[in-house]
Amino acid sequence: MIAAITFLFLVFLGRFFYIQLIWEDELHYLALDQWTREIPVNAGRGVITDRNGEILAGNRAGYGIYARANAVEDAENTAHILSGLLGEPYDALFRKLNDRTKSEIVLVRRTGKETVEEIAGREMKGVYYARNDERVYPYGSLASQVIGFTAYDRSGTTGIEAYYNSYLAGENGEILYDTDLVGVDLRGAAAAYLPATDGLNVRLTLDYRIQSVAEQTMGRVLEESAAKAARAVVLDPRDFSVLAMVNLPSYDLNAIPRDDLDTLNALSRNNLVSDIYEPGSTFKIITAAANIEEFLKGNRRALDPGRHVFSSSRTRTVDGTTIRCWSDHANGKHSGQTLAEALNNSCNPCFVDIALALGPETFYDYLSLFRFGRATGIDFSGEAIGMLLPEQALRACDFARIGFGQSIAVTPLQLACAAASAVNGGYYYAPRLVSELSSSDGSVSERIRPVPVGRTVGEEASAILRGMLEGVVRDGSGKKAYIEGYRVAGKTGTAQKYENGVIAQGKYVSSFLGFFPADVPRYLCLIIVDEPQGSYYGSTVAAPCAKEIFEGIIDIMKIPPSEEV
């Protein structure tokens, strides 16, 4: 009996302890919720700016009108007044004001300040308002897939709006009024004010001026070539800051097609980050970089980048598969090529030779260093990792094709970052879209600095490669990217498209990957034009786009001509 009494005493003591100390906050909140009504105080959402402080996503003041049915004294008269002020149907408002199943009713989500002043002047019982700003995008469709948009409740849905939502959103506050059990305000009761905490502002690495030039350029080629899509990414190779990202066709962030989800999903997708493709000849930059680095390390299998002369045959046969150069090599054309000349002429069999000479083990080591088959680490949701065949499952013919950018699929961002590393001295960084977070008073809460990921090649190999790629623009297939007085380097690409495992006749991806100044790269641009009609070569479709974007950057940044060209 003593044991039983002691046990019961301990149970009651434990319950008492639990209620008083552990459950206290929850019970206090439940009591407060039962005897008060809350008017929301919405936090101001942080703005999104470009690197120069130009606002790309801001706010327009607005107000939401709410009601508590239990506190409304004259639903019929209140509905008549509100119908006239809000322009809403009387019947709908009357039904809402009589709906006592909800503690709080949304009458309208947004209305103007004048309407709010009219409602406040009428002193209608049970009706109140709260600040509910509207998200606005001053540049409309500019960088729409990067910036993203918000839902009706102003929470981030896509893009930077979604990825940095926890910082942008802030924390809502509320005004608490004492009420009776059914929610009617108690006369003379004091209100308690819990202030909102505004969200942080997000500064992007994008430059809206470079973004504008890139979008205008890609918009022109999209229209003139009647292409399916046109895309561009501009990076700073020194730290992989993203200066521009263009995905066309696009849409206006102030007129989001929310009623057509298929269209919205297609237009709002950042294909540069989330989609993959076979890069074709622009990938030869990576193959050349791996070969040069291995030669400098003393690997006897690597081909001498300055002296090795490739076979003049326009074909290579691997496992019964014949790989051809685009040129017929008539009259000795493209015979006796060095690596620099092979890059100039974009001859596929030469890069088959390099891949086979290095072997799968060594070549795959470089693919890993350049982060193919895994994420780059950009601060953006939905990044694809590409498609890289497992080394142990490789057929020789597939491996041979990887050397010139087939049998491998990458995201445009992956390729741009890999190339940036190949030409910047071999330094790979995690690409970034945001540089800092700050409060409304301008104080910086967090600086997001470049994050080094690893090394790919050495400084010497990188310098040799830069010189060769400058030759491609000066003397080879990239001539239409040449800018008088400036040292531009790059590589063209024209890739066939596959559908259901076979080559799609007449469908190509035209591309150009370039950078300048060639000796000390500051701007790198990847151009992709998907299924252009008529001329489809990267040299004629994509290279001129890069030139136009680079010329725009030169004008914006007031970059003087190079002393040595």
What are the residue numbers of the active site? 281
Q: 419, 285 in Cβ contact below 8 A? A: yes
The residue among 471, 237, 273 whose CA lies nearest residue 377 is 273
DSSP code per residue over 196-246? -BPPPEEEES--HHHHHHHHHHHHHHHHHTT-SEEEEEEEETTTTEEEEEE
Report how far residue 114's alpha carbon sits from residue 116's, in angstroms, rounded to the nearest whole number: 5
| 3-class SS of residue 117 | helix
Dihedral through CA 33, CA 37, CA 39, CA 42, nearest 10? 10
Number of residues that this document lists for the chain? 565
Q: How far is CA 269 from CA 187, 247, 424, 497, 507, in A?
A: 54, 8, 29, 21, 22
Residue 539 is encoded by which pair of tokens? 């040299």
Provide φ and ψ at 495, rounded to 5°.
-110, 135
Tokens 């130009």 correspond to: 54
CB 227 within 8 A of CB 508: no
From the centroid of its chain, how far is CA 285? Answer: 24
DSSP structural state of residue 443: -
Residue 368 · residue 398 · CB < 8 Å: no
- Is the N-terminal amide bond of 257 cis, ω within 30° of 0? no
Q: Would you say 69 and 99 are in contact if contact means Cβ atoms under 8 Å apart?
A: yes
C-alpha 306/C-alpha 340 separation (Å) is: 8
Under 8 Å CB-to-CB from 1, ≥6 apart: which residues? none
427 phi, psi to nearest 5 deg:
-100, 125
The candidate with the shortest Cα–Cα distance to 349, out of 277, 292, 419, 406, is 406
Q: How many H helices and E strands in the chain?
A: 19, 23
Non-local CB neighbours of 300 within 8 Å, separated by 6+ positions:
none
Structure tokens, 355? 């891949």
> Contact at 8 Å (CB) between 74 and 228?
no
Question: Would you list the DSSP string of 485-498?
Answer: TS--EEEEEEEEEE
β partners of residue 551: none
Assess contact for 246 and 218: CB atoms under 8 A.
Answer: yes
